[in-house]
Structure 1
Amino acid sequence: MKKQAALPGIDVSEVQESLSGSCAERPEADTGQAAACPVPEPDGWPPLTTMLHSLFVFEPTTPAPEPITVLGLACGCGRDLAALPPEQRALVEKADVICGGKALLEGFAAAKARVLPLTAPLEPVLSRLSQLRAAGERVLVLADGDPLFFGIGATLARQLGPETVRLLPAVSSLQQACARLALPWHKVICLSLHGRDDLGPLNRAAGKDAPLCILTDARMTPDVLARHLLDRGVDWFTAHIFERMGAPDEAHHQLSLSETACRAFGPACTLLLVPKDRPRAPYLGLDTAQLAVEGNLITKRPVRAAALSLLRIKPRHVVWDIGSGSGAMALEAVVLAHEGRVVAVERSAGRAISIQENRRRFGAATLDVCLGQAPECLPALPDPQRVFIGGGLSGEDAEDILGHVCHRLPPGGRLVAACVLLDTLCGSRRFLERLGWPLEIVQVQASEARELGGDLHLAALNPVFLLAAQKPAHNAS
C-alpha cells in the first residue's frame, strides 16, 4: 500500500555532490514553497506528468524493514570495494541495492547488489528507495563525507522520515579543511553556493567577524566569489582554497582576496575565508565627510535619524531606499537590517557610482545598488518590508511609485517618504488617505553650528516633512 506525500520541491543541487563524485559535500536546500495542487484525473489520480515528479512514500510490507543505510565515504580513501574498511565492505556485500552518483558507483561494479543511480529529478529516486525498503530490500546509499553536511542524508531523513534512515558519516569537507589549518571548526560559518545564485547568505556572513567555509561549484568558483566580495569592500579575509581534497594531487592555495580574484580554479573547491582584520561596517549617524556625495544630494543626519525611527527596521527586513542619492540612508539601514537586505534605487548613473563607492568604503556587503527609474525598475526587486522614498515624488510618476510600493508591501509593512515641497507632501498624503492607511506626519527642523565673526551661530537646515504610513492588515492593495 502506498501514499502520496504532499511535500515541497527539492533543489537539484542537493544531488550534485553525488553526481560529480567530489569529496566536498553539496548543498541542502528547502525552497520553502509547495507546488500548486494538480487537477486530478477522472480516476482520482494526479496527472501523469505530476506523478513522474512526485514523491511517493511506501508503507512497509514486512514487519520490521531495515532502515536505508547512508554510508559516507572518507576523502582520500579509494572509491572501490577493495579499498573499504572491513565493516564498510560488509555493508556493501550485504546490500541488495546500492544507490549513488554515477562517479561513486563506478568503483562498486564488482558488488553483487543491483545499482540505482542517483540522478535529478530526485523525487522518483526517493520513491524507488522507499518502495525497495518497504519490500524488505537492504538499501545502501553512497555519499561523500558527512551526508548531513549539505548532503543527501538530510534530504532522505526529511522526505522519508528519520526513522527510515541510518546515517554512517565520514569526516566532512569542513572538518578536513579546518584540520589542515588547525582551525576550530565549531567557530566557522558554513555556506554552500553549489548550484545556487543567491549570494545573500555570503553577504550577510562576511561582516560577522568569523571564518567562513564555502562549498563552490563550476560557476561559483573562488575567484568569482572573491571579485564579488571585493566589489562590496570586503577585503579583510585570507583565502584558503582546497582543490581535489583528499586526492593524491590535492592542492592548497593560501591567497589574499585580490590574489584569489586573479586566479582560476576548478569546480567543487572547499573555500575557507579566515579574517585577518576586523570587518568594517557602516554606523548610525554617518559623517558626510566620509561619503562620496554628488551635488550635495544627501539626506541630512537629523532627517535620517527621524526616518529610521519611523521605519522601525528589524534585522531580517528587506528595505528599499528609493531615490537614494549618496546612499547614506541605505547604509544606515544596513546597520539595522543586518540579517536582511537593503536595496538603494537610484536613476542617476553618477549617483549610483557614488553609492557603490560608499558601499566599498564601509564594506556594506548586504547593500545592493539598483540603477533605474522608479517605478519601472521596482518589479525586479525582492518584496520589501520597509520602504524609504527620499526622492522622486515631486514628478509625474509619484502616484505610480506610491502605488507600486503600497502593493508590494505586506500587511504591517511601513513606508516613510521625505517631502521638501508642500505639493509633494499634500499629494502623497491624499494618495495614502484614499487607501485608508494610518498616517504620521513629522516635520524635522534642525540647525547646525557654523563659524561667524569669530564665534558660532546656528544655521538652519531646510525643513523636511516625513510622512510615515503602515499597511493595514485588511488592506488588499
Structure 2
Amino acid sequence: MRLVIFGGTTEGRVLAEKAVALKIPVIVSVSTEYGAELLKENAFLTVHQGNLTEEEMEQLLLSWQAELCMDATHPYAELVTKNARKACEKLALPYVRILRKEEATDAGEDRVSVKSVEEAVSFLQETEGRIFIATGSKELEKYTKLRNFKERCTARILPSEEAIAKAVSLGFSGKHLIAMQGPFSEELNEAMLKSAGSRYFVTKSSGKEGGFAEKCRAARAAGATLIVVERPEAECPEKKEGQNAEKQTMTLQEACQLLESVAFKASDGTVPETDREVYLIGMGPGRASLLSVETRQVLESCEVLIGSGRMLQEAHQVLAEDKPCFISVRKEEIAAYLKEHSSIKRAAVLYSGDVGFSSGAKGMEELLAGSFRVSRIPGISSPVYFLSLLGLSLEEAALVSCHGREQELIPMLLEGKKVCALLGGRSQLSGLCEKLVFYGLSDVGITAGERLSYPEERIRRGRPEDFIGKETDSLTIALLERTESGTDRRSLPGLPDDSFSRAKVPMTKEEIRVLSLAKLNLKRDSIVYDIGSGSGSVGIEAALFATEGKVYAIEKKEEAYALTGENARKHRASNLLQIRGEAPEALQELPAPTHVFIGGSSGRLTEIVEAVLQKNDRARIVINAITLETLEILLKLKRENPRCRNMELLQVQVTRVKELSIYHLTESENPVWIAAFGGEK
C-alpha cells in the first residue's frame, strides 16, 4: 500500500512514524519549512513542502499512486481539508480525516467563545488592555485592524523564517513578537502572559496536542480573559456521531490501527502473533518527571495502556494524546484481553515502582509466552527513591513488601538488620507498631515516607508508640532500625530450659528439643504444627529458625495455652500463632503443614497423623513418646501405614551430673522415644 498524509501536526508526525515502522511508503505534505524540518526522510518517507491547491493535491495523489489519503492537518485548516476531500472524491480514493479530541477545561466565566478570529477582533475592538495572540501567523493580519495594535498585541508564532518575516512585515516586532515551538507548560504560558501584561489571551481550541488545558489554567492564574476561537463544526467529533455513511473520520488511535490492519492483515484477519509486542513498564514511585526517556517513547508508541486507574492517570500526564485504556491488575484478565483484541500490535502494561521488585509483572511473561514478544522496561523502585532521600544505599536494608500479604519483620530486626517495608493500607503501620511494642521492641526507630515523589510528599520519624492509632497514606514505606547493637538470634537451637516459664506444664527439655528439631529438618519458610505445645519450647525454637514461615501452636489446656503465649512474647517469636483446641479437629482450618511436631496427642495419635497426611502426604513428622503405649502405636503405624514405612525410631536418655557437697552424682531423665518419618530428612 502507498499512503499520502497531509500533516504538519503532531498527528501527522505520529502517523508518518507509524507508516515507516510498518514499512508503508508514505509522502507527507506540509505547508511550512518548519514542518518539513521535523520529519526525517528515509527509504519509506518522502516530504513535500508547500501549500497546494485542489488540483495540485490531485496531481500529488496520482503521481504517488496513492491507495489511501489521511488528512491530519490542523483542526482549523478548513481550506486544506476541503481541497483534500474534493481531490480524493474525484479520484475515488479512500479519504480519512483525523479528528483531534476536544479537551474539557474548567475555564469558567473567564472564557469567551467566538466562531472566528474576525469575531474575536470585533470583540476586542470594544475593549481596553493588552492582548496575547496564539492563533498562528496566518491570522495575524486580521489583528492589525485593532486600534493601536502594535502596542496592545503580543503575538506568539512558530520559529520559522517565513512566519517571522510575515509578522515583522505586519508590524509585530521586538518584545511584541515571540517565536517559539509549543506546546507550552502552564507555568511558561503564565509567565509570558504576565510579562506581556496581557488582559486577554486569544487562542484556538487546539486539544491536548496543542496544550489547550495548560493555556486555560495559565489564563486564569494570570488574571487574563481567555478568548477561544472554537473549531469549525466539521472538526468536532461529537458532530460526527450517528453518521451512516462510510466512516471518513477517525481518532489518531483508530488511524494507527487502520495502518496496522492494512500492513499486517493475515488470512484470518488478525495481526500475526509473532509481530505483537507487550511492554511491562515500571512507572516509578509516581512523579512523571522520574520516568526514563525510553519509558516515555514506549508509552507514545503503544496503542493501548493497561493497569490500575492511578497508573493510567500518571501515564497520560506525559503523553501528547489520550490512549485507549483497559483498567485491570489481574494477570489472567489482562492476558485474555490482549488475546481477544487481535488488532492490538503494541501494548503497555503499567506497574508501580520497578518491575523487578515485588511487582505484579511477575508471572505475566509466562501467560503471554508464545503469543507476544514481552519486554520489561524498568522504573525507579519506591524503596530506592526512599532510601536515597535518607542517604542510605540499597544494600543497607532488607527489602520486604507487605502489599496484599502478611510478612514478619520482627525476625529480621532481631537479626540486627534494618528493614525497609512497603506497606499497604492506612492502618498497617499502626498495627505493625502495636506488634513491636507487644514484643518489647519499643526501641525501634521508625521513618515513614508517604506519597513519595508527589508534591505532598511527607517524611515522619519516631518510635512505635508515636504511630500507634495513626493512619498513614495507603502507599507508605517504612524504615525500621534498632538502636540496640547486636542480635537476639541464636544460630543454633538449644535455648536453656530456664529461659522458659514452665509452672506445672510439661516441657520438652533442651537436649531432646535439639534432637527433635534436627530430625524435623526445618527450612526458613516452613509451615510448622506444634501439636500439644505445652510450654511452647519446641514451637518457639522452630519459629526463631523458620523466620520466613509460620508456626501454629495447638494446645487444648488453658494453663499450657497461656504459658505458650507468655514464652513466645518473651522470646519475641512473632511468627508463632496460637490455636486453642484439640487435634485433629483444631487442624481443619489451618494451612497445610510442611513440618509437624507432636509432643502430646491425648491418646489420638493415629487420628492426628492421618489428618496431617491428608493435608500434606509429604509432610515431615517428628513425634516424642515417653510411654510404652505410645511406642506401640508408633510401631503399628510403621507396620500398617505405607506413608510411615520410612519411620526412624531412636531412644534418647539424658543424664546430667549434679553436685552434692564434695561429690558429683548422676541424675537421669526419663528415656524418650523420637520417631521421625515422611518428607525429607
Mark yes or no: TM-score above 0.5: yes
Specify the alignment match of 1:425 in structure 2. 631
Partner of 1:301: 510
Deviation at 1:86, TM superposition (A): 7.8
- Tell me the residue number matched to 1:470: 677
Instruction: Report the AA paired with residue 97 of structure 1.
Output: V
Task: Describe the shift of the 1:66–1:335 C-alpha distance in structure 2 as closer, same or farther (beyond 3 A).
Answer: same
- SS of corresponding position for 2:623: strand
Q: Tell me, in whole angstroms, the C-alpha distance in 1 between the residues paired with 2:521 and 2:379.
A: 46
Which residue of structure 1 lines up, in the alignment, with residue 355 of structure 2? 147
**8 A Cα contact 1:236 1:279, kept in partner:** no
1:84 CA drift (Å): 8.1
Which consecutive unaligned segments of at least 5 residues does structure 2 have?
1-267
Change (3 A) 1:64 1:421: closer
Residue 248 of structure 1 deviates from its aligned partner by 1.8
AA matched with 2:451:
R
Aligned amino acid, residue 623 of structure 2: A
1:223 and 1:60, CA in 2 relative to 1: closer, same or farther beyond 3 A?
farther
For 2:402, the aligned partner's letter is L
Specify the alignment match of 1:215 in structure 2: 422
In structure 1, C-alpha distance between the alignment counterparts of 2:661 and 2:274, rounded to whole Å: 94
Q: CA separation of 1:91/1:351 partners in 2, compared to 1, >3 Å: closer, same or farther?
A: same
Summarize the alignment of residues 323-334 of structure 1 with structure 2, pairs less than 5 Å apart.
323-334=532-543
Say if 2:667 is the partner of 1:459.
yes
Displacement, 1:468?
Answer: 0.9
- The corresponding residue for 2:653 is 445
Alignment-derived partner of residue 253 in structure 1: 460
Q: Structure 1 residues 471, 91: CA separation in 2 closer, same or farther (over 3 Å shift)?
A: closer
- Asked whether the 8 Å contact 2:415–2:488 carries over to 1, the reply is no
Q: Distance in 2 between matches of 1:369 and 1:124?
A: 38
User: 1:103–1:399: structure 2 CA closer, same or farther, 3 Å change rule?
Assistant: closer
Bigger mean CA offset, 320-329 vs 181-190:
181-190
What amino acid does structure 1 have at the position aligned with 2:554?
V
Q: Residue type of the partner of 2:655?
A: S
* Residue 205 to residue 67, structure 1, CA distance change in 2 (3 Å): farther
User: Could you say what secondary structure the match of 2:507 adopts?
Assistant: coil
The reply to whether residue 349 of structure 1 matches residue 555 of structure 2 is no
Is 2:591 the counterpart of 1:364?
no
The 3 A distance-change label for structure 1 pair 59 and 123 is farther
SS of the equivalent of 2:585 reads coil
1:127 corresponds in structure 2 to 336
How many angstroms apart in 2 are the aligned matches of 1:414 and 1:88?
48
Decide whether the 8 Å contact of 1:439 with 1:467 is kept in 2.
Answer: no
User: One-letter code of the match for 1:382?
Assistant: P
Residue equivalent to 1:67: 277
**Structure 1 residues 450 and 217, CA gap change in structure 2 (3 angstroms):** same
Q: Look up the SS of the partner of 2:424 in the other structure.
A: coil
Q: In structure 2, what is the Cα distance between the partners aligned to 1:390 and 1:137? A: 61
Aligned: 1:186 with 2:395: yes
**Rounded Cα–Cα distance in structure 2 between residues aligned with 1:71 and 1:299:** 53
Q: Which amino acid in structure 2 is aligned with residue 452 of structure 1? A: L
The range that moved more, 88-97 or 266-275, is 88-97
Distance 1:167 1:59 in 2: 29
SS in 2 for 1:216: strand
Aligned length: 406
Instruction: Specify the code of the residue in structure 2 equivalent to 1:429.
Output: L
How far residue 175 of structure 1 moved from its aligned partner, in angstroms, is: 0.9
Query: 374-383 or 270-279: which moved more?
Result: 270-279
Q: 1:186 to 1:430 in 2, by over 3 A?
A: same
1:195 corresponding residue in structure 2: 404
* Distance in 2 (alpha carbons) for counterparts of 1:136 and 1:409: 44
* Cα drift, residue 173 of structure 1: 0.5
Q: Which runs of 5+ in 1 are unaligned?
A: 1-57
- What does residue range 373-384 of structure 1 map to in structure 2 within 5 Å? 373-384=582-593
Which secondary structure does the structure 1 equivalent of 2:455 belong to?
A: coil
Q: Report the secondary structure of 1:214's partner residue.
A: strand
Cα displacement string for residues 84-127 of structure 1 (whole angstroms, at most 9, x for unaligned residues): 89876665555433334323444638854442132254433333
| SS of equivalent residue, structure 2 residue 577 | strand
TM-score between the two structures when normalised by the length of structure 2:
0.52
After superposition, residues 205-284 of structure 1 pair within 5 angstroms as: 205-218=412-425, 221-232=428-439, 237-277=444-484, 278-281=486-489, 283-284=492-493
Contact 1:62 1:135 in 2 (8 A): no
Name the CA distance, whole Å, in 2 between partners of 1:338 and 1:299: 21
Check 1:146–1:450 CA distance in 2 against 1; reply closer, same or farther (3 A cut): same
Partner of 2:622: 416
Which residue matches 2:309?
Answer: 102
For residue 199 of structure 1, what is the amino acid of its counterpart? Answer: Q
Could you report, residue by residue, the CA deviation over 1:341-367 in whole angstroms, capped at 9, with x for unpaired residues? 333222123322322222222223333
CA distance in 2, matches of 1:89, 1:302: 63
Deviation sequence 1:394-446 (CA, Å, 0-9, x none): x3x343223323444534x4433222222232234334432252444433333
SS in 1 for 2:551: strand
Question: Is the 2:501–2:567 Cα contact (8 Å) retained in structure 1?
Answer: yes
After superposition, where does 1:155-174 map in structure 2 within 5 Å? 155-161=363-369, 164-174=373-383
* Superposition deviation, residue 261 in structure 1: 3.1
Distance 2:386 2:425 in 1: 19
1:174 offset after TM fit, Å? Answer: 0.8
Match for residue 246 of structure 2? none
Do the aligned residues in 2 keep the contact of 1:193 with 1:220 (CA within 8 Å)? no
**In structure 1, what residue type is equivalent to 2:356?**
L
Deviation at 1:208, TM superposition (A): 4.2
Structure 1 residues 445, 343: CA separation in 2 closer, same or farther (over 3 Å shift)? same
| TM-score normalised by L of structure 1 | 0.72
Distance (Å, rounded) in 1 between the aligned partners of 2:679 and 2:453 = 57
- Distance change in 2, residues 1:460/1:75 (3 Å): closer
Identity fraction in percent? 25
The separation in 2 between residues aligned to 1:356 and 1:402, in whole angstroms, is 25
- Secondary structure of the corresponding residue to residue 151 of structure 1: coil
Q: Is contact 1:221-1:269 (8 Å) kept?
A: no
Flag the structure with higher helix content.
Answer: 2
Equivalent residue runs for 1:380-391 within 5 Å: 380-391=589-600
Which fold has the larger relative contact order, with Cα–Cα distance below 8 Å and residues 6 or more apart in sequence? 1
Amino acid at match of 1:403: E
